[in-house]
Amino acid sequence: MHGIAASSTYAPEDTPRASGWTEVTRKDLEAARRRGLRIVVDDVELGLEPFRPKAFGPNQEFEVPRTTLWSFPDRGSWATHRGNYRGNWSPYIPRTLILKYTEPGQLVLDPMCGSGTTLVESRLLGRNAVGADINPDAALLSRARLDFDIPSEHLPWGEGSARTFRGDATNLGVFSDGSVDLVATHPPYAHIIKYTRGEVDGDLSRMAFPLFLEAIEQVAKEAFRVLRPGKHCAVLAGDTRKHRHYVPVSLGILSSFLKAGFVLKEDIIKAQHNMKTTREGWGGRYDFYLLAHEHLFIFRKPLDAERAGLRWSTRWW
């Protein structure tokens, strides 16, 4: 259980041994590029071509949010960020989390990294990052999005390293206990967008709600184990509708993380902009409101001595 070391001694050449995670390397990316591999997620086709970014951060108007209501109408397209991976999160979200909850050189983990948004931001902000995705194609895509040079004048904190794995978020066996400084992740919302076509075991996006929640509980347990005491775990969670009624998926996610031992530090309401209609295909034609918000839960792994004092933040009812 000592594949990826604690951040103080984090070395990108460490090789994970447990858990079935497999690293996606530059060689893998080059081989996929030679084969001309195109990646299809949901109905969107994505290429692995190299990028030459012109910008390496948000424009100067960006202000770090100060309230529990976050809204980023311009979703952010600096570096290699593109909005075309279905359900990806705006880079403003991991940027804000990384700046608030970590120091340069610390270790950030996104165990459901999709197109690699969290990893790109970590690198730009001088943090080290590890990402995994159950879908080997997504892991390749995130590796491709990390394949760009950053001029040193755009690296106020130095350059972070980032590694990408094909791996399952329910098994973080590559990390020792208490070795990660921030977990920041955005799970699928119980079969709303399907990220694979049924060929990949363990894909949360293909699980019915009860199984999905069981898997989320396991993700939460593992996230709790690998985090250093006192550190944070941020999870973006959305809800959906079935038969024109509200399905509070986010509450299931909240309760899974509390059950794992976390305390709730923040419940941020994140406004959704330009939603594709997957969740709201019926919008306007029925008797309900369009869903236009998500919850960004920020959990903390409390120190043992704090637990009693924080008991009102350890459960929901």
Report the nearest approach of ligand SAM to the CB of residue 311 (Å).
Answer: 31
Q: Three-state SS across 243-308?
A: CCEEECHHHHHHHHHHHCCCEEEEEEEEECCCCCCCCCCCCCCCCCCCCCEEEEEEEECCCHHHCH
- With CB atoms as reference, the residue minimizing the distance to ligand SAM is 114
Residue of 7, 19, 88, 164 that binds ligand SAM (CB under 6 A)? 88
What distance in Å separates the CA atoms of residue 298 and residue 307, rounded to the nearest whole number?
Answer: 16
Piece of 201-209, 260-268, 284-292, 303-311 that binds ligand SAM (CB under 6 A): 201-209
Cβ distance to ligand SAM smaller for residue 166 or 301: 166
Both tokens of residue 95?
């940027």
What distance in Å separates the CA atoms of residue 263 and residue 315, rounded to the nearest whole number?
Answer: 8
Q: Provide CB contacts within 8 A for 243, sequence distance 6+.
A: none
Report the nearest approach of ligand SAM to the CB of residue 285 (Å).
Answer: 26
Residue of 46, 48, 120, 132 that binds ligand SAM (CB under 6 A)? 132
Q: Provide CB contacts within 8 A for 181, sequence distance 6+.
A: 7, 101, 102, 103, 106, 107, 108, 127, 227, 228, 231
Report the nearest approach of ligand SAM to the CB of residue 17 (Å).
Answer: 19
Single-letter residue type at 299: F
What distance in Å separates the CA atoms of residue 257 and residue 272, rounded to the nearest whole number?
Answer: 23
Residue of 102, 205, 240, 250 that binds ligand SAM (CB under 6 A)? 205
Stretch 138-157: interaction string toward ligand SAM, x if CB under 6 A: x-------------------
Cβ distance to ligand SAM smaller for residue 75 or 265: 75
235 binds ligand SAM (CB under 6 A): no
Cβ distance to ligand SAM smaller for residue 41 or 254: 41
72 binds ligand SAM (CB under 6 A): no
Burial class (CB in 10 A: 0-12, 13-18, 19+), 158: exposed
Report the nearest approach of ligand SAM to the CB of residue 75 (Å).
Answer: 10
Q: Which residue from 269, 270, 268, 266 is spatially nearest to 300, judged by alpha carbons? A: 266
Cβ distance to ligand SAM smaller for residue 133 or 280: 133
Cβ distance to ligand SAM smaller for residue 187 or 252: 187
Q: Are 183 and 222 in contact (CB under 8 A)?
A: no
Single-letter residue type at 46: L
129 binds ligand SAM (CB under 6 A): no
For the segment 173-192, give every residue that binds ligand SAM (CB under 6 A): 186-188
- At residue 4, what are phi and psi to the nearest 5 degrees? -110, 120
Residues binding ligand SAM: what is the number (CB under 6 A)? 26
Binding site for ligand SAM (CB under 6 A): 85, 87-89, 111-115, 117, 132-135, 138, 168-170, 186-188, 195, 202-205
